Structure 1
């Protein structure tokens, strides 16, 4: 019965599978026109996307080549040391500088060399003239020579002060003792020194212009480098978008091709019609088998009912047998002697052997006694000690009594067996053994048959009980399939959202880099060098929390990232903030889009040590020279103020230093170099 039920279930499943497949094939036939049209459209779209991807690859390659060229030029130009000597030697690499100024620089150097030679000649002439003069003339000549080399308003001989060095020289020249030749030679030395100073100033001015040109060209190259990087990132993002769309088209084409088994439309329709006809034939065959199995189930059910009736009869017969006197007697004997049913035969054989042994012992005893009696009789006769017959009769009676007891035991055993099987005292021992064996086999077969029937009945009951979980299992299976479909749709939505999130994060990174100028921040930050390990600044967008956030992190270049708020000191945090501020200030523009060339900073060295302060001053000076920005700095630190005067002197950079004497009153501060020179004079 269980086999039939299983076969019916298998047929139902096959029918269901066939119906599902037929439904799928019909749907495929109905949607074949649309799907094949979509396949052709996807192929044309795929070709267009492939061309766009190749175009973007070429664009990225060209921009990368351009990026390498600009980076090389920027690196070469950054390490270039621009001096008047390097300009004359032609060692200015990719620096673009006016050829006229280089030619003018060469002329100045040539003229300066000639002036030095001319000066040496004049000094040699002056020395020769001095040697030829008498003492007074030699003294005047020495004085003029000294004043020519070291201008002063105090007479080196009498220490009399004058209003100016020119007045002192005029008085010395008006001495009639100096010869005309000596005076003329001194005038030439003064003119040579004046011209030499003019040439030195002009050379310094040309060198400053070359430095400004280098700073301007570096800024231009950096801007061009950033533009090329932005173009590369934009092209890579567009290329990734095209590749994702191409992958989606390939997946869809693969899905459609797999659905249509890689066949053309006509072949697919022929294949579907053939498979539908095959499924119809299989369905008819399965329905026929289902009907046959249903009839067999009915027959088996009727047979089962008949078997149940027979089982009832056998149970009744078993109950009757159990109540039979012979069965009860044997069962009582077995229980009394603690004998198992399967040990009955062995028990009977043991008992029979025991009885035989007793009989044999009695016979042996009798024979032995008879022999003894005969010997004793002879001896007694010989000795005349013969025993009376009455005494022998008594002994005989005792032996008869023992024999009767043994016979009673055997008869009792036979009587107990007669309750179970048909046996009489006339039967031999072998006949009794055969009867016991036959009846034991019959009872064993009956017990096995009854046990099979009981097991079959229990199996049917269990199958009837387990049929309900099967129905529930089918229902749960349908619910599980629906949940799987929902889960797959949810996963598809999650994947689409994740892809959009990646694209948004990449765009945000580009926008953040464009807004904060991360490369320039790192360049400024490294120049100040506040930390020995964490030298790279990065802006990271965090979408993992409830609300998205933008974090500033610093890295060690080996993958380690920390938050400066948690680990940096106040000075290190101040340096990081100053780097971010300066990078944005260098790119600041007004409402009309014009660059703002003024940067105002209030006390930028809070909590910094001496090394960081010096690095900050060098950085501010570099910004002034390279970017042409006007820096206005206010501070309350006198040491910082003094360092600014020393490292950015007014004589070289044209800087101005003011001091707030009281509220609302500002006074200029005399440069440190001029002040020192005045004291020395």
Structure 2
């Protein structure tokens, strides 16, 4: 199957794009190369073809893009990331791929639901097609995997296995590990049982135990009853004995601990609580309470003292404030008339000043209008005067100016025509020089390429075709001659070797046959009378020498022919080089002549342009007035303009004089007003500096009033009210002084507040601490006694409770010790019965476990055989899957390493995680194997991966078992040197044309692209070349 054409719509970076791989002669191109910088959509083109054929994109479904896809969905309304986000969302993805008739054509429009590669409903078609898409990231991923285990997983996941061998292998290994572990545990159990076997136990142990059960049951023990004594009942009795023993021992330990604790409390050795501690704590707590009450009473009286002292300070402050305010009122009442006159005078001065300032503002506004009018007039005067002065000489010399204007217009038109002609000639000369320079550069490049060597690639440049073809014919003839020489040389060496062998045979024969007296040949039986006669006859045979002579003669003739051909090639090459040199000199001379003409024309153009610029300036002066009018029309227009300009100039001068006079009058009036205002301000300021004004102002400030507020009656009423308030304050002050004296007499002062507060805080903390300590001790003692005591109880009561608790505990200890002795006797009866029953049971258990071990060994043998069979099968499968002969042939065609030439695949299925190793070997075989990841460069790794994938692609089959004759290769030459790149080009050329495969290549490397075009030109080979103009836009590259 080969692709005929492809059409893509709304996929990834493509809007509408079609590619036709059919040549003009009707044949399908075997080599298709697409060039574009990174990011232009090369890989997306392969994705589109794969998506159309398989309904999936392998690099997205096998990569870790699922999470990215879910994040990306949030930014899209309905389409997936496969859809071109720059086109109308109402469109759908469409991919059309037409083949050469060996495979069904594909033309499918994808719905939005079909775009989801990760949907559970997504299904694949033509899955074989992924084998022919060679991606650089998959090359690296397969070879550069961190471990052989990962490489094995990649192999089984991506390279054709539909059955899950890895899962099956893991299941086998898990079962085998589980069986081994189970077998080991059974062996340990058998060993433990064997070690526990003793001599056979005999006697009446069971009868004694049964009797013991009946006796202890009568004493009140809650023992279980059994119809017969066996291993289960023995085990249950042991559990009962162990539980009962633990309970009794626990009671004994608890009782002993409580006895020791209570004794330590009574005798004073306890670190937690003693009787003496309780007594001391209760006494201390009572003392602290009494002291606290005394301090609190003192503090209450002290707080009252602070309160009335504060009231006393407030009364003193109020009295001072009232006295001060009353003095102000009295001052105002005493100077009422003088203050009133002062305020009237200040008001009059302020009003006069405000009135004159308003007049000044009006005058300033009028002046501003006059200044603005004056500024406008002065701006207009130059234009009006300029118009008048400009029209005057024209008016006086109109006829002369008009004739000069018409002459310059005619001269300008002549110069424009000359300039156009000169520029056209200049441009043509420059174009000729560029073409000549480009031609020289092409010829120079051709000459350099020719110096490197003459081959068919020079024909691509379309230069000196006849001479090149003649030299190529001579080279072909030289190749044939060299081939004939090589054949003759090989024949000559063969005959020389044969001659030396004959001579060696003769020399050996002299020794071998020295004992024989006759000359009978041992091979043919002919009698040569003597052995010397036989040997002489062989030595005198010159057939081989004649043949060698003839071969040497033929070789010399071929050498002469080769020399003649080389001379002819050299002569033709020299002749071609001379032709090239002459062509370059001729073009350079023509360029020199053109440069001189260009220089001359440039000077002439500059001169014309300067002259035209001067003419333009002269014409522009009068073009507005003269234009295309006749002289009489111009004369009437100039007369009218002259009269208008004269009249306008006279009017504006008159208006300027009137404005100057008005401005002078208003400025004089403004100066007079400003003098009056300054005088008023000076008088107002002198009043403000007067002492009476300052004192009056200070009084008003104290009362928080302005100078124009309050009448005298108000001040008198306010002064009387303040006198009454002052009397009340003085009476309150007397009562406060008496109460302070009374508190001081009690021994309470205002100076020890901080010390009393600190003492109160200290006593409170101490009281809390003693109370907590006493509570803890009481709680501790309550845990040891049956009665519940409190901190209010007396020490004697606590001591009596503790002694009663000691007597009770000692009585209980005796009972528990007696029970413990009876349990020990009963335990001995159970132990004797267990020994009697255990011997036979252990023997049976050992036999049973040994049978289980034998069954496990049989199962392990079966699993090991299945594991070996699986390992053999996988190794065979991998050997068959990788065509090592083809891989090595491809690898050695590129030959990236001077020593390691052979690729081997080693699959190890013995462990739980199978491993697939890729190794390289020298001609010595596996003895010199290495792991390429550790020793090869990036380029060598890339080449190795490329060859493995290329071999797989060359052998790819479709679902019907037919060859898939198309291969897609994405950027195949990353990190390769020039030699490797040349080898890859030769390999691709052989695959495409010798093996009749359709190879589609994308590359970002411009040099690689141009090299492919040169080595596989479309006019010789069945190839086509494309390039990306921009992202998502592809055109054919001719």
Query: Do the structures match in fold with TM over 0.5?
Result: no
Q: TM-score, normalised by structure 1?
A: 0.32
Structure with higher RCO (Cα < 8 A, 6+ apart): 2
